[in-house]
Structure 1
């Protein structure tokens, strides 16, 4: 019996897989990557060696105000480490500059005060000006024309009116933008509702180029790059995280060049060779990305890549925050079947994209080909079953269900962290 500990919420879950069924574990090198430098030293090194850009200190010279875009509560960016260092570098060169920290919520709900303290630390929350972006509030946005794809470009007014705009974030494989980080701080991070929906339209989501680890000719990425350029995103600090959400590398500098360097590094350590298995077990890497079903779709896409036709995907995710989006939940639960829903979504035009349609489309795509079982003891099972998936309180219960579907001789592959893996 193979006994493995996998990420689950803020800890781990021990799972047992019978030896006769177990094909093996797919694990990115990020899980085992080690460096002699501390997390702070990694960040300092990146900031002192900017890629394709002047240093942060030189960029802030003579500026009266600036905005720092940061990630929200759904992203594991270690801002308690990165933000104090960024602020130190800025104020060492320009003590009087007025700084606003803009939380890039995209289409997510606003980050709560408690979540801000957990993410940034009490000192930053008490002393700094922090704003939550709200995609649906037109009065807080400014129109900058049109995206290359034709959608209207609306971005946060505070960011656009700042003398200097920079962003912090992290780079990991992303299931339709190729990679997170860089330009994603702007679109969808601080973009308006119409802009996000146009960028995440059904046509683009269906593109074979809009997949994990792909940037070249990815239509979603191309729109995002244009938005970042129009926003005049001048500088980024993007970190790469290891198994325990610790910083293992960092890239700073020009928003395009530094991001590309980071993506190259992530691709090198995240590529894993897939296989066709009857049952694929995966996770969303634990908290915060496993806190709802909406986010858990990301880990499912890694399993989708190496699951045989009509295979079973077992997703281990706490979903402690429930479904993660009312429209996401209602659209899935009110649909007759994933097949009918997917066919309907593919007929929706770019400018008629509905909130969360992209996540619905990807989940529906997966469910048309695979049975999905979510393992959690922290979520109402009714939510899961309403959304055309199965629920299991324990991993053993999930395996028993999967064996009933695929047979006792079914081959099983484990993807330890579906979010950090690029399955080829």
Structure 2
């Protein structure tokens, strides 16, 4: 019996495939990737995009600097980013005692000590750290409302409430990963600050029905995207001055590193990412799609379920109506442990089937985290879902999906010679029907 190798946790796992299946693998056009990531980051920080002023020339001795860094669910090489940023700050005369590292959690769970050690590397324990958790409302300040962006009036006003740790500074920096994102088009850039360091109130509006169902809110597109435009304005209100970001290839490899002023730097990395992300896979729809993810996104179903919705809500999904989406993910945290993850579970369990979940959430509304339930349930009104290899038997059924230990378990509900698409990197490779 043939097998396929998929990212699974920190490594790979081979899954046997019924010999009658007709397999196609989504492979992006090969692109040069970053050979030496540490060197590439250092060079990017020393040579900012569009030849703008270096970071060392933007700071002065005695200034307070905050650096917003990603949470544990992002594969961001933050320790390497910090090496380069802190070297520049030191050369600009900034003292370590004046630097604060802000974990941009949004509504995800707080970082553990082990995760902080991994994220910060040699800087663990040397600098002040703060968790910006959107539920700690007393730590957030209101900076007004956003009613319109560069190209449109927003579907509803967006309250801008940002964490005090990124406001009580003279200079604000941010790290990030640029990869496809369901609502913002692409992650990175402005998002680390405008969502990661925003309150539950801000996050709830930007992830609410009015934004999610707006025609401009699309995976892999920032043009005329209201979520993107709101995030850009939120980052401006935070006075975000300088970023260093890594764009990921469609195979989940480091593609390009840039540093510089937030908007042009992010837009250039989006262009690099867009050129690789979309992969045509033919005209005939498939009977099933098997998706790999890998660490850290496959640690819980809240994150891993993105693979389902990325496939379902792309421009031309390559799967027939009623086909199967299989997500290979160990999900050792089950649904996830943060407030947003628990809101996701609550939303998925609010009705007995996906159609009723969508109707209930659309009628009642939902807070931060509920948006994932809304989008997953919408996807499941068109496709069947399964989680392959989950650590806990209850994880998939909690979300109206089937938990399976092997691909044989869905073979009986597929045609004998099923056409099956394999996407090894389901959050970075975006397959579409030709």
TM, length-normalised to structure 2: 0.90
Q: Is the counterpart of residue 385 in structure 1 residue 401 in structure 2?
A: no
**Residues 83, 246 of structure 1: CA spacing in aligned structure 2 closer, same or farther, 3 A cutoff?**
farther
From the superposition, tell whether residues 203 and 274 of structure 1 become closer, same or farther in structure 2 (CA, over 3 Å). farther
CA displacement at 1:21 relative to structure 2: 2.6
Q: CA deviation at 1:330?
A: 2.4
Change (3 A) 1:199 1:111: same
Moved more, 88-97 or 249-258: 88-97
Q: Separation in 1 of the partners of 2:34 and 2:302?
A: 36
Give CA deviations for 1:263-318 in whole Å, capped at 9, x if unaligned.
Answer: 0001112221145201111122x010110000012111243222110001111011
Match of 2:37 in 1: 39
Partner of 2:151: none
Show the 5 A alignment for 1:104-119: 104-119=104-119
The CA distance in 2 between the partners of 1:177 and 1:263, in whole Å, is: 11
Residue 219 (structure 2) pairs with residue 206 (structure 1): no
The aligned counterpart of 1:238 is: 245
Q: Does 1:319 align with 2:317?
A: no
Partner of 1:366: 379
- 1:21 counterpart residue number: 21
Q: How far did residue 341 of structure 1 move?
A: 1.2
What residue number does 1:328 align with? 344
- Is residue 424 of structure 2 the alignment partner of residue 416 of structure 1? yes
2:183 is the counterpart of 1:176 = yes
Shift of 1:322: 0.8
Aligned length: 412
1:223 match: 230
Greater mean alpha carbon deviation, residues 208-217 or residues 193-202: 208-217
Aligned to 2:357: 341
User: Offset of 1:20 from its aligned partner?
Assistant: 4.6
Q: Which runs of 5+ in 2 are unaligned?
A: 148-153
Name the CA distance, whole Å, in 2 between partners of 1:345 and 1:91.
Answer: 50
Between the aligned partners of 1:402 and 1:56, the Cα distance in structure 2 is 54
Contact map agreement 1:279 1:402 (CA 8 A) in 2: no
Q: Which runs of 5+ in 1 are unaligned?
A: none
Q: 3-state SS of the aligned residue for 1:383?
A: coil
**Cα shift at 1:242:** 5.1
Instruction: Spell out, residue by residue over 1:122-171, the C-alpha distance to the aligned partner (whole angstroms, 9 max, x if none).
Output: x3111111111021222211110002231211001111121000101111
Backbone CA RMSD of aligned residues = 1.9
Instruction: Name the structure 2 match of 1:196.
Output: 203
CA contact (8 A) 2:5 2:15 kept: yes
Q: Structure 1 99/353 Cα, relative in aligned 2: closer, same or farther at 3 Å?
A: same
Q: TM-score, structure 1 length as denominator? A: 0.92
For 1:22 and 1:92, the matched residues in 2 are separated by: 58
SS at match of 1:60: coil
Secondary structure in structure 2 of the residue aligned to 1:256 = helix
Q: Distance in 1 between matches of 2:72 and 2:34?
A: 29
